[in-house]
Amino acid sequence: MVVPGSRERAEEVFQPPEDLLKDAHVPDFNTYLRLYKKSTEEPEVFWTEVAEDFFWKNPPKGQILQYNFDITKGSIYVSFMEGAKTNVCYNVLDRNILDKNLGEKVAFYWEGNSPDHQLTITYNTLLVQVCKCANVLREMGVKKGDTVAIYLPMIPELVYTMLACARIGAVHSVVFAGFSSESLCERVLDAQCSLLVTADGVYRGEKLINLKRIADEALDRCRDRDTLRVKKCVVVKHHALRSANSSAAGTLQTPWDDQLDVWWDDLMESASELCEPEWVDAEDPLFILYTSGSTGKPKGVLHTTAGYLLYAALTFKYVFDHRHDDVYWCTADVGWITGHSYITYGPLANGATGVFFEGVPVYPHVGRYWEIIEKYRVTKFYTAPTAIRLLMKYGKEPVLRYDLGSLRILGTVGEPINPEAWHWYRDVVGQTRCPVVDTFWQTETGGHVLTPLPAATPLKPGSATLPFFGVQPAILNEDGEELEGEAEGYLVFRQPWPGIMRTVYGNQERFENTYFKKFPGFYVTGDGCRRDQDGYYWITGRIDDMLNVSGHLLSTAEVESALSDHPAVAEAAVVSRPHAVKGECLYCFVTLKEGGEFSRTLTEELRRQVREKIGPIATPDFIQNAPGLPKTRSGKIMRRILRHIARNDKELGDLSTLADPKVVEALLSQRCEAAA
């Protein structure tokens, strides 16, 4: 492995800033190499040392990490710290209060959708609320191993309920509160949930959403299938709707069923503040979280107790170089894995102070993110490239109105970040002094698997850089042959790390077929990847987002980056379209910056730019003006829908997870101009 920047080349390399080196957990590249070698060659020693920072009711027995990744040799499994007993809630709360004296430290600054709504929650307060909630769950009949569905917006009760489940050994299944009733129904049924926790309503920007009505519709759908197991529905009255003066208080009609529904406040009022934790086995389930599947049916990714806890804690500590006085802010929703690992479990396991944000980036104004950073003196900021590109459209003036001098480290998550957005993030938000940790991971991995370490890793814009400790990546070709040196192909991992998923809930066969059947002996990420001459990894897009044009494999991310480099382009998405000669051709959707005009001249400029940056083989056949792109509420582009539009296939499937379904109508209506 070559230290980037050690020999001359045209590509940009950014060295870690000097002021981070002094007290960093991993202060230089050689320390990273030494620890990485230990984690892969002596995993028993490495992970045993990590585990020493946590509380274990019983120690493990025998080998720390056992597994089989080869489907030809039997069932796929991973077992970590077998025989150990612990409790995740105890480790992230009681341990910090009793052993580290952090009771009065702020765990969360909750910032509501409106800047007028805020709450400061200390570790002591958090423990009291979690214990009360845990006692409420027990009173509702929830016991160890039961699954609780949580359909809540980004309010404190969401974290209270998650940790309460962990405290009593129940399994939580958080469903993003922007999902439809059908999506909620599907997840409640698949996870066999016995209790649902939801809220009466929620504001998203200026829009008031009746969450309870959606939850009721979901339960009705469950009843229609005669498989409803939910015995009670606990309803939180949203903080913004509690006030009698609230304009929504009189307009929101909360549907109610006295046999099923009960108010959260009524239960919590009389609940005890003391709750002994349930000591569970290291491999007992902690949570189920659903992610999209290629078949259309979501997969219930199952994560277990000890391995997930240690991996979320360690990745948070090292990737964000956590210090005791940090104020850390991850803008994700807890309905996604990022919110599980890097808002809840990872930060709390380190005794961190975090910002917990309910709102959206541009409400009530386009400077909301920067206002919050200034308000709480945020030191570590973790967000998605989608949000960065959105805020880029408004220029740097809204950023410069605020004092962002507290920032020390920036992070990105969710998708590869294009170099233009990377530079804007570093130069404008980070004022050229903050490293950008571009993290690659998945719901299935539990935590970061390819990532820079801020004081140790020289950065290349757009690269996820190098593997985290214990992670051994490889690149395979279509025939399953491992490629050495500079290469491009399928990204796989040759052995597990503690935080990897254990199965697809209730469907081990699907787990094995999805992740292990194609290349026996490897976990298959489903992503394409390029490794450069320094050993750095560049994610090139989902394998099903890769394009085979005239026998050449092209990545959507590479073409999208080339298009986005044009000064008129705000965002681009690329899919394939059948072609009589080439097999597939490129169909590009381009969103212009404000004031931009879509024209024949522009399309020719874009074609020329892609040709110049990638090669003639990548020249787009179709470029369509896209006033907006179909995205989920978490900001991910739904390329499945774009592929249908490119093919003029109006059977688009389920659109319930789209943030704005009207975008699809606009794209279909404009398609004729692009590819009639």
pLDDT single digits (tens) 294-313: 555 788 999 999 999 999 99
Q: What Cα–Cα distance (Å) separates residue 109 from each residue in 11, 82, 119, 323, 356?
A: 40, 37, 6, 17, 6
Average pLDDT of the chain is: 92
CA distance 169 to 187: 20
Under 8 Å between Cβ of 378 and 342:
no
As beta bridge partners, residue 197 has 150, 234
Other Cβ atoms less than 10 A from the Cβ of 4: the count is: 25
Q: Which residues contact 234 (CB under 8 A, 6 or more apart)?
A: 136, 140, 195, 196, 197, 198, 262, 263, 264, 267
Mean pLDDT for 207-230 is: 91
Q: Locate 337 and state its tokens.
A: 């894995």
Instruction: Give the 3-state secondary structure percentages of the chain, helix then strand then coil, rounded to 5.
Output: 35, 25, 45
Does the pLDDT of residue 281 top 60, yes or no?
A: yes
Query: Which structure tokens are listed for 138?
Result: 């027990």
Residue identified by tokens 């009291």 is 128
Confidence (pLDDT) at 581: 64
User: Per-residue pLDDT for 7 more than 50?
Assistant: no
Q: What is the pLDDT confidence band of residue 674, given thresholds at 50, 70 and 90?
A: low
pLDDT for position 179: 83
Tokens representing residue 393 in the block: 């459209």
Indicate the length of the chain as a whole number.
676
Residues whose CB falls within 8 Å of the CB of residue 280, separated by 6 or more in sequence, listed in order: 85, 86, 87, 144, 169, 305
Note the maximum CA span of the chain. 72
Mean pLDDT of 29-48: 97
The CA-CA-CA angle for residues 236, 241, 247, to 5°, reads 160
CB 462 within 8 A of CB 538: yes
Q: How far apart are CA 664 and CA 645, in angstroms?
A: 8
What is the reported pTM? Answer: 0.85
Q: What is the pLDDT of residue 9?
A: 41
Q: What is the mean pLDDT of residues 510-525?
A: 96
Helix (H) or strand (E) holding 557: helix 556-564
| pLDDT above 70 (res 247) | no
Alpha-carbon distance of 55 to 307, in angstroms, equals 13
Which has the closest alpha carbon to 149: 180, 130, 176? 176
For the ranges 344-358, 485-499, 511-525, 635-649, the lowest mean pLDDT is seen at 635-649
Q: What is the pLDDT of residues 443-482, one digit of tens each?
A: 999 999 999 999 999 999 999 999 999 999 999 998 999 9
Q: Which residues 6+ apart lie within 8 Å of 604 measured at CB?
A: none
